[in-house]
Amino acid sequence: AAYTLVDLAESEKEKCEKLNVEFVKYIIDWCVEYNSKLIHFSTDYVFDGIKQGEYTEQDVVSPANWYGETKAQAEKLIMNSAAQAVIFRISWLYSEYGNNFLKTMIRLGKEKEVLNIVSDQVGSPCYAVNVAEVVYQWINSHNLNNFKKGIYHLVPPQQISWFQFAKKIFYAYEKTHSDLKVKTVNPILSADYKTAARRPLNSRLCALKARDVLNLSLEDLDISLQKACKAL
């Protein structure tokens, strides 16, 4: 549970902070009191996106927007606490559920023949169902014996732009559906698509630590995307 409306967070700072920071304090205290393990999800938006190359868990956070700031504050609270905690940073979350980029693209793809999509922001799209499966299996296995407090990047290996992701979505969707209207997808720059919150241009996260320390990894993007599109 989190406040994830990135643009609205810029005008609803108190509400965003209450859920993403204050509520986390209660969870930390509860986990410490009852000696419970805490698994917390964070975001690529704790980084400003200026770095060249992949971000590692050792990189200093520098949020580009208020949503990212609240998530960074929560990370600090957790890591400075006595809670047995693991923080998974995930990015560009999508699925057949809720509101997300995948569902927005499919909706727009049914309505318009031409779409303009940002091409200079790069990251790793994460399938929410696969994230849940991987973490659930980890919880229910003996691998929790290697529960080591820390921050881990849990993302698939593919790194693409929103423009490339949109094209992949339409390609995957058309394998099982025939109701798309879109014919042309044009790349545009972030500067041409104004939003209330600034997004990092580079959201590339290195996921080697999660694989090497916890033996956790997400499945290939194309496999996950096909699953999600079939479920729509």
Instruction: Give tens-digit pLDDT for 156-175.
Output: 999 999 999 999 999 999 99
As given in the structure block, the two tokens for residue 72 are 């960074």
Burial class (CB in 10 A: 0-12, 13-18, 19+), 50: exposed
3-state helix, strand, coil in the chain (%, to 5): 45, 15, 40
| DSSP structure class, residue 21 | I
Instruction: Give tens-digit pLDDT for 72-113.
Output: 999 999 999 999 999 999 999 999 999 999 999 999 999 999
As given in the structure block, the two tokens for residue 113 are 């023949």
From the candidates 3, 55, 67, 94, give the one annotated as an active-site residue.
67
SS3 207: coil
Q: Which of 225, 118, 112 is nearest to 174 (CA)?
A: 225
CB 198 within 8 Å of CB 64: yes
CB 192 within 8 Å of CB 117: no
pLDDT averaged over the chain?
Answer: 96
pLDDT of residue 142: 66
Instruction: Give tens-digit pLDDT for 25-59.
Output: 999 999 999 999 999 999 999 999 999 999 999 99
pLDDT band at 1; cut points 50, 70, 90: confident
pLDDT of residue 143: 62
Please state whether beta strands 184-188 and 122-123 pair in parallel, antiparallel, or not at all (unpaired).
Answer: unpaired
Q: Which of 87, 83, 1 is nearest to 46 (CA)?
A: 87
Catalytic (active site) residue 127: no
Radius of gyration of the chain (CA): 18
